[in-house]
Amino acid sequence: MDAKKTGSYICLLRKQRGLTQAELAERIGVTDKAVSRWERGKGFPDITLLPPLAQVLGTSVTELLAGEPMSVEERAERGDSAVLEALRYAGSMGRKTAAVLLAVAGCFLLLTPLFVAGRTWGLRLAGLGLLALAAAARYVKLPGLDPGRLLSPGAARAGTLLCLLTALGLELTPWGAVLNFARPAEDGTIGTFRETFSYFSLTPFGYANFFPLMTGTLTAVLLLLALAQLLRPRPGRGNALFILDVLATALSVMPWVVFGADYLSGVGVGITACLVLAAACLALANRENKTRKNPRKEVDFPENS
């Protein structure tokens, strides 16, 4: 399947029937932005949208996937049911692979507290969450809905704000940053004890663990910028937010990288997870914003697909 070829064919058939992108989108239950992405070869219709899309455009699923008209014999040889069944099988294999990866990651997080001291409820919750996602990816079948319809740019920006607000709240708790101190035992040996601090505490900074304070400060700046972006969206600001969020995510994992697993805490894992989710929301919002510069402008393609 060639996304650009299929997109050009969709555009050709739509124009032959005198439909705008918005009219075609309304008939099959997606947004005009989704149709625009398909026609530009930047995306591909969900498998559940192929039959209604083919019906509206007066073609077959096989021709739609091939990106060109076919003879009756060719359509009979490559029947729509066989093509759809093959796509469903590929999709199910993708879900199974994702489910296995999520399950492995979830089990890893659930087992990590056995080897890490301190408060590890965050790790356990994250592990259970990944196992739940694995089960959902394996057994839950969702209808074919366009991602842009499920999460608009405004909703993506609101999701970014929520993730950053949660991260900042966790950073303010006294259980995120970790320090390990030496303590002489009664028998003369040297033991260690563990203390946790807020990300905004200067104590870890004084012991050369600069990363929590830097992460917390950057998260606070991100939260203010995300609020400004929600109230008055600007494309350039969205790209800057994404870069800063990636930097904050990298800083949040540096204590584990530099000092080892002894500096790992459940709250710290939760903070990193929130920053990663914020980056995902920002990426979606930035992608959708690119299609909103000319929301009613249709993209022309050559008539020969």
Identify the H or E element spanning 40.
none
Instruction: Residue 107: count other Cβ atoms within 10 Å of its Cβ.
Output: 14
* Nearest alpha-carbon partner for 297 in 33, 10, 23: 33
* Nearest alpha-carbon partner for 106 in 136, 62, 70: 136
Q: Which is more confidently placed, 181 or 287?
A: 181
Question: Is 106 within 8 Å of 135 (Cβ atoms)?
Answer: no
**pLDDT at residue 298 above 50?**
no
pLDDT-wise least confident of 53-62, 139-148, 270-279: 139-148
- Confidence class for position 286, pLDDT limits 50, 70, 90: confident
Task: Report the alpha-carbon distance of residue 199 to residue 173 in Å, rounded.
Answer: 8
- Confidence class for position 29, pLDDT limits 50, 70, 90: confident
Task: Report the alpha-carbon distance of residue 78 to residue 47 in Å, rounded.
Answer: 16
- Confidence class for position 64, pLDDT limits 50, 70, 90: confident
Q: Report the pLDDT value the prediction gives residue 280, as an integer from 0 to 100.
A: 84
Task: Report the alpha-carbon distance of residue 25 to residue 7 in Å, rounded.
Answer: 14
| Residue 155 DSSP SS3 | helix
Domains of the chain, by residue range, sit at 3-81, 151-291
Q: Model-level pTM?
A: 0.53
Virtual torsion, Cα 110, 122, 192, 206, nearest 10 deg: 140
Q: What is the mean pLDDT of residues 39-53?
A: 80
∠ CA 242-172-106 to the nearest 5 degrees?
A: 65
Residue that is written with structure tokens 């870890």 in the block = 204
Pick the CATH number of 3-81 from 1.10.260.40, 2.40.30.170, 3.30.360.10, 2.60.120.260: 1.10.260.40
Q: Report the pLDDT value the prediction gives residue 169, as an integer from 0 to 100.
A: 92
In angstroms, the Cα distances linking 46 to 66, 72, 131, 224 are 15, 25, 26, 36
Q: Report the pLDDT value the prediction gives residue 218, as an integer from 0 to 100.
A: 95
Give the dihedral sign, CA 87/93/99/102. negative
Residue that is written with structure tokens 């606070």 in the block = 220
Q: Percent of the chain at pLDDT above 70?
A: 69
Identify any residues that bridge with 194 across adjacent strands, giving them in sequence order: 180
Query: CA Rg, the chain, in Å?
Result: 25
171 class by beta-carbon count within 10 Å (0-12 exposed, 13-18 middle, 19+ buried) = buried
Task: Report the alpha-carbon distance of residue 264 to residue 249 in Å, rounded.
Answer: 15
Number of H helices, E strands in the chain: 14, 2
194-248: pLDDT as tens digits: 889 999 999 998 888 999 999 999 999 999 998 888 888 776 777 888 889 999 9
Residue that is written with structure tokens 């999709």 in the block = 91
Structure tokens at 29: 């239950």
Question: Is 215 within 8 Å of 271 (Cβ atoms)?
Answer: yes
**pLDDT at residue 302 above 60?**
no
Q: Report the pLDDT value the prediction gives residue 295, as an integer from 0 to 100.
A: 43
116-144: pLDDT as tens digits: 555 566 666 767 776 777 776 666 554 44
Q: What is the mean pLDDT of residues 62-78?
A: 69
Task: Report the alpha-carbon distance of residue 305 to residue 166 in Å, rounded.
Answer: 49
What topology does CATH give the domain 151-291?
Butyryl-CoA Dehydrogenase, subunit A; domain 3 (1.20.140)
Question: Is 95 within 8 Å of 88 (Cβ atoms)?
Answer: no
pLDDT-wise least confident of 43-47, 49-53, 142-146, 231-235: 142-146
Q: Report the pLDDT value the prediction gives residue 148, as an integer from 0 to 100.
A: 43
